[in-house]
Structure 1
């Protein structure tokens, strides 16, 4: 499965569980060592962030795509899911606002997406 196909699946799975304010950044243009893409998602409460993470991980597992690392799941305040080329951050609103990853990576191009697919 190609990286952009996986990004699209992640977005779909996050939207299925009502993930909010989904942002996709192409951080590989700035620092390819970390990842090619970073996806930032907001959940409303810890059980919601865990449900988003579960839906993404379970959905990608069907395609044989397994995360390399999962962090923060138990608390559910900031869940980081590392797929190698793709880093997913699922935040509670107050933590997303505090850490401001979009600002930190503001030089990275945003990837636009629609129901039809990802626009490069």
Structure 2
């Protein structure tokens, strides 16, 4: 029985690794295809310009490369900030919920402590049914 469960766990682990590897392989192929298509589109757009367009100093190879590099850095920076920002937002939300939960627990503990502290007075005034309700 132990060997069968061990084999089952080993099989599930192998399948999980196989599917995870397939996911990365497919995503890499898709990303590379997408980047190649973007490059082809950008290259065809640049080549479709008139020759006089390249004669302007603001349309030189160095200037175009600089513009593309800045655009890529800004895009990657924005995506990176969004990827890390959701975790920070979730952490802040969890901290707020934790503080709220702690205050509620402290309030319950305070009321419980006061009730236990004054149990003789509660019994003396016959307020047990009211407090239980």
| TM-score, normalised via structure 2 length | 0.23
Larger RCO of the pair (alpha carbons < 8 Å, separation 6+): 1
TM-score, structure 1 as length reference: 0.25
- Higher strand proportion (structure 1 or 2): 1
